[in-house]
Structure 1
Amino acid sequence: MSGSRGGGGGNAEVIVVGGGVIGLTTAVVLAESGHRVGVWTRDPVARTTSAVAGALFWPYRIEPARLVGGWLEHSLSRYEPLARRPEETGVRLVAGLMADTPLDGPGSWSSRIPGLREARPDELPASVGQALRATVPLIDMPVHLRYLKERLRAAGGTVQRRTVTGFAEPAAEAPVVIDCTGLGARELAADASVYPVRGQVVVVENPGIDEWFVSSLPGPAGTTYVMPHPYGVLLGGTTTEHSWDLGPDPAEARDIIARCARIHPALAGARVLEHRVGLRPARPGVRLEAVQLPGGGRLVHNYGHGGAGVTVAWGCARDAARLATA
């Protein structure tokens, strides 16, 4: 592929299918390397699954473990500088507690987190017996997606609303296609191993919380998290496998608020601002590989990131870009 700029119209060298955080980050990496890139997205960027994510930098429901560490370390190295401009990028470095996790649990990537340690007993909520204390990126996804979109445009890339029924359509317009379709890969890539993990969250007015909290235990309602964002506190959550239901469940919402209020009692009376539901694109392992299309083009798959798309986005984008340009 040549290194010339200007990814507008029908002269793209690479078409990225999918406008969530994986697709946009991959497109940014390629465009800033000098390639002409177009993003085709079925949904507006602001209405993708990525837009409703709590977006704490921590791996969740993602494999294979042998690759995840490298993706995490690279992604962290990209998010940390962005945290210097939070209003523009949506990225802030925020302290918090990861409960029910031993110090050696996260893996080697956690050595990159400055100050990661066991929380002292006086730092733990009354109902929590153990937690790690860490300062990691917490990302306001609507702001971050806008930032990525503008960064892509500044590098000469384009974003189009366009629905495809197969990869032959983008392949007819560009020699390289990157599949960042998330759950859409179930149909587009004929991959039956992709399935949804439904997550419901509640956004409430912030009663004065400035740190995040996460506790993950087995079961559909085993994940409790409190994430303070500029727009309010995001409370979660649920992990219902194989559910395609995008409608908020009032009973689940009440349960989420009750669980979070056991951590921060002030949340019990906080005014509810919004209910959100997203479907995490789960798979036994991330699919990140290049295949040849029948017409001779190259298709790079980059999907199946489960609940960790934001966390590994830059690392996976780097590897997908290498596959696209090899």
Structure 2
Amino acid sequence: MSRVTVVGAGVVGLSVAHELARAGHRVSVVADRAAADSVSGVAAAIWFPHDVDHSVTVLESAAVTYRRLAELAEDPRTGVSLRGGTVLSRRPGPDTSWTRAVPHTEPARPDGLPEGASGIRCTVPLVETGAYLAWLRETVTGLGVRFRAAEVTSIAELSRQDDAEALVVAAGLRSAALLGDDDVSFPIRGQVVRLANPGLTDWITDDDNPGGLTYVVPRRHDVVCGGTGNVGSWDERVDPEVEAAILERVTALVPALAGQPVLSRAAGLRPGRAGVRVEPVAGHDRPVFACYGHGGAGFTLSWGDAARVAAMLGPAGS
């Protein structure tokens, strides 16, 4: 079997490790943060290609991931379920290209929508991040994947310490610096507050809300309420004023949330880039592959892009 090291243990890195191990490679994952401590653990993790371009390649990966997550939803241990909800738009001619990756969509009934808004109803996978990331790590460990906790400061240094025959860089925001990427990569700060669930099942997203990005994503035991999209901010602290503004927007959108107790709160940095990068990277002493720049769509593109990386490497021994 060939030896492959994956840099990064978020949802993308773990998905890549899974697909490579399934293809027969001997895989190691090296990262300084566990998935739950990365932005993957902060995400509302509802399927939607957010903060990425809607290119043909991106939507193909989104469709592959949709199908895989829909299959996983049949196993309650994964923490994946299929949930109905509404994508709101408050502007004329909204981009609906993402609907090509969804089996069925329909216009939302105007009653109940904010004044002047339109909506698209659909059913998409929703990932309970705590359960899913734990299940995914347990699954890849069962496939023989090994984990090492370390900060990777350069690919050259890793190459000197590692006997892998190939490297995959899936380290989110740090990937560009590791690979000397000249394209613009940047943080997109996201903040959420998680409320007790008063019995909600449907999700709703409102990217065009006049007060800022707004979404309500009910899970089994809480409701993830957001959010923010502060491009260029490296601040991972929870801001009380931002939280108050989020709560004001979500309760206006979903009045049933008013007065619900706060269960937890978090902030994280989405790995933004001019475009998702999944390709071989020349100039190294062994094959190196990039898989990063997923913006707010790490869960949405994870399985599709992991399959693309596995196809580039081919089966073990090839």
TM-score (norm 2): 0.92
Identify which of 188, 201, 205 aligns with 1:214.
205
| Structure 2 equivalent of residue 259 of structure 1 | 249
Separation of aligned partners in 1, 2:40 and 2:57: 22
Match of 2:298 among 309, 315, 322: 309
Distance 1:136 1:112 in 2: 10
Match of 2:99 in 1: 110
Whether 2:154 is the aligned partner of 1:166: answer yes
Contact 2:62 2:101 in 1 (8 A): no
* Residue 156 (structure 1) aligned with residue 147 (structure 2): no
Q: Residue 269 of structure 1 aligns to a residue in which SS?
A: coil
Partner of 2:119: 131
Alpha-carbon displacement from aligned partner over 1:270-289 (angstroms, at most 9, x marks no partner): 10111110100000001111
Q: Deviations over 1:149-207 (max 9, x none)?
A: 11101111112212111112443320100000111123212335111000111001111
CA contact (8 A) 1:127 1:262 kept: no
Q: Which runs of 5+ in 2 are unaligned?
A: none
Cα gap change, 1:64 to 1:204, in 2 (>3 Å): closer
Return the alpha-carbon distance in structure 2 between the equivalents of residues 59 and 312 of structure 1. Answer: 8
Task: Determine helix, strand or coil for the equivalent of 1:248.
Answer: coil
Match of 2:196 in 1: 205
Contact 2:59 2:101 survives alignment (8 Å): no
Deviation readout 1:106-151 (Å, 9 max, x if unpaired): 32x63453441001123x3445631111110011112111111111
Bigger CA drift: 141-150 or 162-171? Answer: 162-171
Where structure 1 has 5 or more consecutive residues not aligned to the other structure, the ranges are 3-11
- 8 Å CA contact 2:59–2:100 kept in 1: the answer is no
- Measured against aligned partners, the alpha-carbon deviations of 1:202-233 in whole angstroms (never above 9, x if no partner) come to 001111211100011288x5211000112310
- Deviations 1:78-132 (CA, angstroms, capped at 9, x unpaired): 111101123x11111001110018898332x63453441001123x344563111
State yes or no: 1:235 paired with 2:189: no
Kindly tell me: are residues 200 and 128 of structure 1, through their superposed partners in 2, closer, same or farther at Cα, counting changes over 3 Å?
A: farther
**Residue matched to 1:25:** 15
Note the C-alpha offset of 1:266: 2.2
1:179 lines up with 2:179 in the alignment: no
Measure the CA separation in 2 of the matches of 1:199 and 1:128: 26
Do the aligned residues in 2 keep the contact of 1:55 with 1:139 (CA within 8 Å)? yes
Per the TM alignment, residue 321 of structure 1 is displaced from its structure 2 partner at its CA by 1.4
